[in-house]
Amino acid sequence: MTTMSMSRGGMWEVTSRVIVYAAIGAALYGVLLVLQVPIPGTKDVSARPAFALVPFFGYAFGPIVGFFTGLVGNAIGDQISGWGLLTSWNWSIANGLVGLIAGLAPLYVGRMMSGSVMNRAIAGAVAGVVAVVVGFLFVFTDMVLSAYDVNTVLTTEYIPVITGNLISTIILVPILVYAWEPLKDRLGR
Amino acid sequence: MNVAPRYLGRGSWLSSRDPRVLVLTVVFFVFTAIQVWDIRLMFGLLAIALLYYRSAGIPFASVRRNWAFVIFFVSLLVLVNGVIAGGQVPRAVPGDLHVYLHLPLIGTPISAESLLAALAQLLRFIALAAVGFPLAYAIHPADFGATFARLGIPERFAFAIDLTFRFIPSFATDLQTTIDAQRVRGLELESGAGGLLGRMRRQAPILVPTVINAIAGAEDTIDAMDLRAFGTGRRSWLRHLVYDRTDRLVIAFFATLLFAATIAGFTTLSSRVWVPPFMIPG
């Protein structure tokens, strides 16, 4: 039986493999941000399927890859849209934290990750949900950076963004884990 | 589908600067702008930001949609924060506000101070966008790795940033090929059938092959890096970055602006909302 667990020391190693998967995750996230699914009943809120890559890359390749995918991928998405790489740096960090927390999944869903493929797919979704809910708390820094009050950040930023991203995560992360498992075995990872 | 970074400012005065200047300018300017609430000073910062933007030589026709999006988005945020959600006026005592009216139903007080705070926020966001756009369009995409490495980011991560920008065009091509292939097979991405969940699930035939194909191809890159002994010694960069006198002056200007805004925040009223006399009722 294969497992997705990794040693705690191995989580923080920066090898060529980590560098390449991090770069791939960030580039894919930036590119796939063009896919948007409007949320029915809202005017301007869209779910972004590409967001599922952040928890997936964290979950599959570890916290460093996850953090880089979220941080740099979001910054590149902003860059491509013209907003600028660093203009909303706190949102990029929030995305990075999502990948980082998903990458720490062995610490809080380790038992599920050692089970069947279905268990591992569910563990991916659980890790993604935890990561989204916790990681995006960082956008409350807008209370300092933009002088918003807590209600504004909660109602116009935090809740809409985690709603769309949770939908992407819950649906697409298990699908990606299912697709990745056979490839992982073939690559000997 | 054009998702590759566009180098629209090619040949401009700003694009000929060391790219580190553009990164440092954004950092200094963001921390300057968030400290200022006096709209007279904010208009000054906006003027500086627009002058800086103009020096990037970005053709307006190419970024018209980006500007429209930015202005719509920040106006919405400012409106919600300042009016609907009853945004607080920074460092203002509620009893000292010059209230014009209370909004029906939600009861939010509309005061001279809250209107000017909203205006300051709007100006700030536009100024930040004006300084951010050159970072997006006036740096050659191939220069980001060297730029961040020379700014002190660990070189492995700087290399990853460089690699990210190099992967983007090929992944964009793969994405378009996958979309075309799935459409030929009858996938209807735009169909609303099945509601949100159905629409999300319909993204999987696009997302999964693109992602898995990219991951499978990663082994070639990893092998190539390992064969070249990646990470065993100090890395050199093809692009050699050196500040010239103008670069130093630009950095010094924005660093001074940040220093002045910080000092002024403690010693003057620059970090409070200023109300012109004509807006004070009765």
Q: How much is the ipTM here?
A: 0.86
Q: How many cross-chain Cβ pairs, A to B, lie less than 8 Å apart? A: 205
CA distances (Å), origin B72, targets B63, B75, B77, B81, B117: 14, 5, 9, 14, 18
What whole-number percentage of chain A has pLDDT above 70? 87
Rounded to whole angstroms, how far apart are CA atoms A167 and B18? Answer: 42
Report the mean per-residue pLDDT for chain A. Answer: 85
Q: How confident is the model over A166-173, as a mean pLDDT?
A: 93
Joined tokens for residue A16: 């060529």
Q: Which of A29, A31, A144, A152 would best serve as a mutation to test chain B binding (most B beta carbons within 10 A)?
A: A31
Q: What confidence score (pLDDT) does residue B272 get?
A: 87
* DSSP 8-state assignment for residue A39: P
For chain A, say whether B196 makes contact (Cβ under 8 Å): yes
Distance from the Cα of B186 to chain A's closest Cα (Å) equals: 18
Q: How confident is the model over A37-59, as a mean pLDDT?
A: 80
Q: How confident is the model over A74-97, as a mean pLDDT?
A: 82
For chain A, say whether B4 makes contact (Cβ under 8 Å): yes
Joined tokens for residue B147: 């730029």
For chain A, say whether B231 makes contact (Cβ under 8 Å): yes
Task: Name the band, by pLDDT with cuts 50, 70 and 90, for residue A2.
Answer: very low
Q: What confidence score (pLDDT) does residue B240 get?
A: 86
CATH placement of domain A13-187: 1.10.1760.20
Residue that has been written with the tokens 């500040």 in this structure: B243
Q: What confidence score (pLDDT) does residue B100 get?
A: 84
Phi, psi (5° rounding) for residue A2?
-85, 155
Parts of chain B with a pLDDT under 70: 1-4, 82-88, 94, 191-194, 282
Joined tokens for residue A166: 């949770």
Q: What is the pLDDT of residues A101-137, one digit of tens each?
A: 999 999 998 888 888 889 999 999 999 999 999 999 9
Contacts of B280 (CB under 8 A, 6+ apart): B98, B112
Q: What is the pLDDT of residues A5-34, one digit of tens each?
A: 455 557 888 889 999 999 999 999 988 887
Q: Which residue of A has its CA nearest to B220?
A: A20
> Residue A3: is its pLDDT beyond 50?
no
User: For residue B27, which residues of chain A lie inside 8 Å, CB to CB?
Assistant: 86
Q: What confidence score (pLDDT) does residue A42 get?
A: 56
Q: What is the Cα Rg of chain B in Å? A: 24
Rounded to whole angstroms, how far apart are CA atoms A65 and A70? Answer: 9
Q: Which residue did the predictor score with more confidence, A48 or B29?
A: B29
CB atoms within 10 A of CB B44: 15
Q: What confidence score (pLDDT) does residue B232 get?
A: 83
**Segments of chain B assigned E as strands:** 99-102, 109-111
Distance from the Cα of A181 to chain B's closest Cα (Å) equals: 10
Domains of chain A by residue range: 13-187
Domains of chain B by residue range: 19-144+242-279, 153-227
Would you mind telling me the total number of residues written for chain A in this entry? 189
Q: What is the pLDDT of residues B164-184, one digit of tens each?
A: 988 988 898 999 999 999 989
Q: Which of A78, A79, A178 would best serve as a mutation to test chain B binding (most B beta carbons within 10 A)?
A: A79
Which residue of B81, B160, B210 is in closest CB contact with A148? B81
For chain B, say whether A71 makes contact (Cβ under 8 Å): no
